[in-house]
Structure 1
Amino acid sequence: MVEIKTPEQIAKMRAAGLVVAAMHRACAAAAVPGATTKDLDEIAAKVLADHGAKPNFLGYGGFPGNICTSVNDVVVHGIPDRATVLRDGDVISIDAGAIVDGWHADAALTVFVGSGHAAELHELSRVTEESMWAGIAAVRKGNRLVDISAAIEGYIRRQPRPAAGKYGIVEEYGGHGIGSQMHMDPHLLNYVDKRRGRGPKLVPGFCIAIEPMVSLGTPRTHVLADEWTVKTDDGSWSSHWEHSVALTEAGPLVLTAPDGGREKLAGYGVTAAPDPLG
C-alpha cells in the first residue's frame, strides 16, 4: 500500500524538510578536521530542539544517533561517536531526518572535509547528486516508480568511467516511501530490475525519498558487527545524496531543499511546485 498525502499533510512534511535542511547546513559547516561525528550529532540535536521538531533516526530500530555519519568507505548508517575524528581529506555522508506534527522528512548530502581531495572524489559526488536530481525530475504524473530508477541509473551509466574503472551503484539499499513513517512502501531501486515490474503509478500525493549511493568500485556491501554500519566490500569510497520529494497537482516539490528544488529542476526543464509554506 502506498500512502497518498493531502496538501495539508504535504505542508507538514515541508516544514519537517526545512528542519532537515537546517540540520544539514549546521552539520556541514561543522564537518572540519578535528571534529568528531558525535559533535555533528549534538549539533543536529540542537537544531531539532530549536525548531521544536523530533528526530526520526534516534531510537529507530535501536539506532543510537540523531543522524547517520558515514565516512569514506562507509556507505550508509554510520553511527556518530567520539572515536571517529574527521581528518583533512575525508568524505562524509550526513543523513538527517525530522518529524513535525507526526510527519517525516529525510535527506542526505556528501561533504568534503578540509581540502586536497582527488578529482575523482569530487566527480563521484557530482555524479551521485546529479543522478538524484535526474530521478527527482522523473517524479511526474503518469510516470511509474521504475521511471525514477531508470533516470538515476541512466544518468550514472552515461558518465565517463572513473580512473577506478566504474561507478558501483549500491544494490542492497535504495529510496523509500515517506510520510506518516520514515520508511514506507514503495522501495525504490537506484537501477532497473525488470523482474520487479514497473511499480506504482505516480499520482498527486505520492511522496518518495530518492537516495542514490554510488562507490568508486564494487556495488556490493557488508554490515559491520554493530549491525548498522554499511561498508563497501572492496573498501572503495562512496557518495550518498538524498532528498524527500512530494508530487503535487502542480508538479514535484523537493521537501528537503530550501528552494523546493526550483533551481535544480529548472535545469531539467521541470517547474517545481509552489511552496505551500510561502
Structure 2
Amino acid sequence: MIEILNSTELPRAKEAGALVADILQTMKSRSAVGTNLLDIDQWVKAMIVGAGAVSCYVDYEPSFGRGPFGHYICTSVNDAVLHGLPHDYTLADGDLLTLDLAVSQGGIAADSAITFIVGESKAPESVALISATERALSAGIAVAGPGARIGDISHAIGTVLSEAGYEINTEFGGHGIGSTMHQDPHISNTGRPGRGYKLRPGLLLALEPWVMVDTAVLVTDADGWTLRSATGCRTAHSEHTIAITDDGAEILTLPTTT
C-alpha cells in the first residue's frame, strides 16, 4: 500500500515527527557511560505514554523477526545495526550506539534513527561511519520532491556511501510510512536514477542509510531480532521521515529543541 496524506493529516505527521525527534535527542543526552539499555527503553516508554502517543514497536511482529518485539525503542551497539533488542547491557566509553524509534500520534507514524558515540573516546572509524550515513541521508532528501522517482533517492544515497568506501546491503532500507509504520514503496540504499515510483505531494517516506565498516552481510542474534555485521565490525544508521511537498521535501523528524 502507498498512502498519500491529505492536508488535515499532515499536521499530525509533523506532531509525530517532532515527538520522535525530541525523544531521540533526550535519550542521546541521557546515554552516558554506565547507562543500561533497559533504562533507555523505560525512559522512552514514559515519554511516549506521557505524550499520549502509541509505540510502533511493542506489538510489532513482522515475518523477519521473532515477535512481538516487546520494547519501545531499538538499541543497537557497535556491531549491531538494525532492530537491536534492548537487553541488560551497560554502555561503555567509546561504544557506538544507534537508537531507532517509531511512534504513532493522532493515527500517523514517524520513524527516525541516530547513531552517536558514548563517552569521550571518539574512534576515527566510528566518526567516519556516522558522517557517511548522515551525508547520504542529506543527499537522499535533497533529490526528493514531486516528480522525482524512488530510484533518484536510492542513487543519491548509494553514491555517497559507495564513494565513502562502504559496501551496501539491499535487504533493508527506507520505506513509505503513514497510518502504519512500514508501507510501500521500498527505498533501497543504492539504485538507478529515473526508476521506480514517482513521488507525489502528501507522500511520507522514511529514508535510512546504514553501513558496516567492511561487509554488507548481516547475521541475526539468538534473540531473533538484532541484526549485526557478519565480521563483527562497527556500524552506523541515520534516518529521517520526510513529507513530499509541492516544491520539495520537508523533514518531519527534527527536534524542537537542541
- Is the shorter-chain TM-score for this pair beyond 0.5, marking a shared fold? yes
Higher relative contact order (CA 8 A, sep 6+): 2
Deviation at residue 213 of structure 1 after TM alignment? 0.8
Partner of residue 65, structure 2:
none
Partner of residue 138, structure 1:
143
Return the letter of the residue paired with 1:64: G
1:46-57 maps to which residues of 2 (within 5 A)?
46-57=46-57
* TM-score normalised by structure 1 residue count: 0.87
Partner of residue 233, structure 2:
236
Which stretches of structure 1, 4 residues or more, deviate above 4 A after TM superposition?
A: none
Return the letter of the residue paired with 1:205: G
Deviation at residue 74 of structure 1 after TM alignment? 0.3
1:4-25 Cα deviation digits (max 9, x unpaired): 1112212111100111011111
How many Å separate the matches in 1 of 2:10 and 2:131?
Answer: 29
Deviation at residue 85 of structure 1 after TM alignment? 1.1
How many Å separate the matches in 2 of 1:156 and 1:78?
Answer: 22
Partner of residue 184, structure 2:
185
1:61-98 Cα deviation digits (max 9, x unpaired): 100110000000001111112x2111111001000111
Partner of residue 71, structure 1:
77
Deviation at residue 224 of structure 1 after TM alignment? 1.7
**Equivalent pair of 1:21/1:258 in contact (CA under 8 Å):** yes
1:1-278 maps to which residues of 2 (within 5 A)?
1-61=1-61, 62-81=68-87, 83-159=88-164, 166-192=165-191, 198-258=195-255
How many Å separate the matches in 1 of 2:140 and 2:150?
Answer: 10
Secondary structure of 2:219's match? strand
**Equivalent pair of 1:153/1:190 in contact (CA under 8 Å):** yes
Question: Percent of aligned pairs with the same residue?
Answer: 38
Return the letter of the residue paired with 2:40: L
Return the letter of the residue paired with 1:226: D
Return the letter of the residue paired with 1:68: C
Return the letter of the residue paired with 1:155: V
Deviation at residue 250 of structure 1 after TM alignment? 3.6
How many Å separate the matches in 1 of 2:182 and 2:3?
Answer: 11
> Aligned pair count?
250
How many Å separate the matches in 2 of 1:233 and 1:200?
Answer: 32
How many Å separate the matches in 2 of 1:242 and 1:7?
Answer: 24
RMSD: 1.4
**Equivalent pair of 2:152/2:192 in contact (CA under 8 Å):** no
**Equivalent pair of 1:171/1:220 in contact (CA under 8 Å):** no
Secondary structure of 1:169's match? coil
**Equivalent pair of 1:32/1:114 in contact (CA under 8 Å):** yes
Secondary structure of 1:60's match? coil
* Unpaired runs of at least 5, structure 2: 62-67
* Unpaired runs of at least 5, structure 1: 160-165, 260-278
Deviation at residue 193 of structure 1 after TM alignment? 6.1
Partner of residue 270, structure 1:
none
**Equivalent pair of 1:172/1:221 in contact (CA under 8 Å):** no
How many Å separate the matches in 2 of 1:217 and 1:193?
Answer: 23
Secondary structure of 1:87's match? coil
Deviation at residue 258 of structure 1 after TM alignment? 3.0
**Equivalent pair of 1:172/1:220 in contact (CA under 8 Å):** no
Secondary structure of 2:54's match? coil
